[in-house]
Structure 1
Amino acid sequence: MTGISMLVPASLLFGAFFIKLPALIRRPHDILLGSVCGLLLMAGLVFSLAAVPTLDAINDVSGVPNLAAPLFYTTLTAVSCACLVLLTIWRGGITPRTRSVARRCVLGYAAVAVAINVLFVLGEAPVERLRDFDTHYATTPFIREMIVLYLLAHTVASVVTAVFCWRWSRRVTGVPRSGLVLIGCGYLLNLGYDISKLTAVAARWAGRDWDRLGTELAPPLAALAAPLIGGGFVLPLLTRSLGDLGRAAVRYLRLGPLARLLRRTVPPGSAHVAIGPLASLELRLIRREAAIHDGIIGLRPYYDGTVYEEVFARALAEGQPPERASVVADAAMIAAAGRVQAAEPGRTVIVCGRSPVQPATGPDDLVLISLALRGSPLVHEARRRALTEA
């Protein structure tokens, strides 16, 4: 396992982890997100440990020949367990049943991890082997059992995960299905890694030298599996995050006409708190919505019920449904009030209308009002007439 062939997938996995880390910081109690981040981190650590320079450094620093081997095997076992637990949570959610399944999985793989280290202590591996440890010590007592144990544990996880993903992918569609297919393909490659390693070890037991299966075929299979597995777990979460970001961006832009009108006509209030240039879009959207609400309240003395009633009636006469006519009338009343307030900012009484009407301020109402401000001829006419009368 060369440094480059292992460090490249390690970098990809660590990169995916750091991409998701800000979301985990914002939502520390999100168990699914935390599990994905933990899996990505441990998987990146596995490939870092598998690189020859890392193995050599661990052995040199510890002074124990081949100490990196059980450390690598233990970490790989933990990743196998983490993947099974994550898939269980991903499919079934947090329920008593999934907690029980996850607990059994953790206990089982924890026992394997302990056994790996005990067997290494009991065995003898005095000659450092950085590339062919598995096959070189395939017939050494206790070390032999350690190698077979870690390979079997990883094989079980690969088979279960691949079958699980295949069956589940047939029941879902869209992005989750794509993620499951990627994970399944990755674990099929991992299964190829396990088969290559086990075959090379078994060949040593039979007195044959098939070491190249373990040293030249298995590592590339594992390196190809890493980005597929990492991408499969990240894809649904990343797509959801991008979807949320896209919806926030669309909403922010659609609220623009209403926000700009109120910013020009209403003195800044408490909602106009300065935010940094690196503030998130979610924070900017919250700030914009708060400013709009403050602006609508600030224009309350200038709302003219007559404007609302006239525009509402004209919109109905044009064939618009009552819900749409009400939105257009609200937008016209806000536009007219803004023009009157700008012309007579000192007034604090209802202007010329028979009765004041409070505009709708629900989340969807604000977007519809903002769009009407930009595109409705009735709103533009009401604004122009208010300016003339003021």
Structure 2
Amino acid sequence: MGLETVELFAGVGGFRIGLERAGHEVIWSNQWEPSIQAQHASECYVAHFGEENHTNVDIKQIDESSVPDHDLLVGGFPCQDYSVATTGAEGIKGEKGALWWDIERIAREKRPNYLLLENVNRLLRSSTDQRGRDFGVLLHCLHDLGYTVEWRVINAADYGYATKRRRVFIFAAQANTEWGQWMTSKVEKPDYLTQRGFFVDEFPVEDVQTQLPIAHPPNTTLEGDPKETSDEFEFDFEEAGAMVDGGIWTREVTPVYQGGTVLRDVLETDGVPEKYYLDEEEVEQWEYEKGAKEIERETDDGYTYTFKEGAIPFPDPLNEPARTLLTSEGTTAPGRVKHVVEDPAIGQLRILTPREVERIMDFPDDWTDTGMPESWRYTCMGNALVVGLVEQMAEQLTRDPDN
């Protein structure tokens, strides 16, 4: 049976596509792009799903009590500073602008059974001066709300998708749910995270352990309250882990590579408009931008240093998944991180088309062809998640944890 879902930071609907493919229902959504007048992502979302129960306002202006009751809360939220401060009787508050706190206040008000969140994998390491603090604060907040948590960093290319995109996915379950009870009963087992857990069925990993104890204690624990975590907590989180009753288990895992789609598979093969081809006179500049560099630089205070960067393949190899898409794709001006391919129809060098970047992210063809400027079609895909990963996780939510 599908779960009634609220989708935050909805973008153009990547979470929703994956959820609906697995039989879940989105009953309310929010998408707001700050600092700009045009709301292209929200307009694309409405074009596909309708405007009923969709809001296009700053999430900070939404009263959490107005959000409908739901089973599952999802969202790909920006990675920001999650430090906290005590503000008298108001308790724990986030610094202005940190969107995690909008997730937290809605979860606190509505207490959905499950949360499924996505973020850049550097979340596990931030902040720079207190490694692991931000993720520790996030875990502490969920612990205080009665959730058990499991996380995994997943590179989509390891599991058959057309992009080398690494993101951390965070699954939280209320302790009294089927998943919450199951996680609590299994988390100390030595094969948790490698043979059992929320993610491992859909995204298998190698078990490199040679000696397996009957049970093992957590690697660290949450102590005190989120304010203490913000001030004092520091820990090296690995790419897989779980938090149950304030205990944290984490370990490095190795994906079982499954092969799958490569860049060649998503390219349009019947030729593309001339505007996507590189200017032959600029190929030399492209080669420089993509090439390895060692450049002597000097800071404003006179300190001299050598700036170094490695080479990026030019053109991009077609027998591998694409590199991570960024929002800067979409122009033929020479640039270091943009994709350049050899067109399969005529052999000339060109950039990717909007349809191809949609395929890389596992969206339907022309999903963003809803009237937005073409540059925004690239931006929306650079900000999106890989739809099929969500679909696999959504399928897992329909299963009995013991099976």
Structure-2-length-normalised TM-score: 0.23
Structure with higher Rg: it is: 1
Ranked by relative contact order (alpha carbons within 8 Å, sequence separation 6 or more), the top structure is: 2
TM-score normalised by the chain length of structure 1: 0.23
Structure richer in helix, relative to its length? 1
Q: Which has the higher strand share?
A: 2
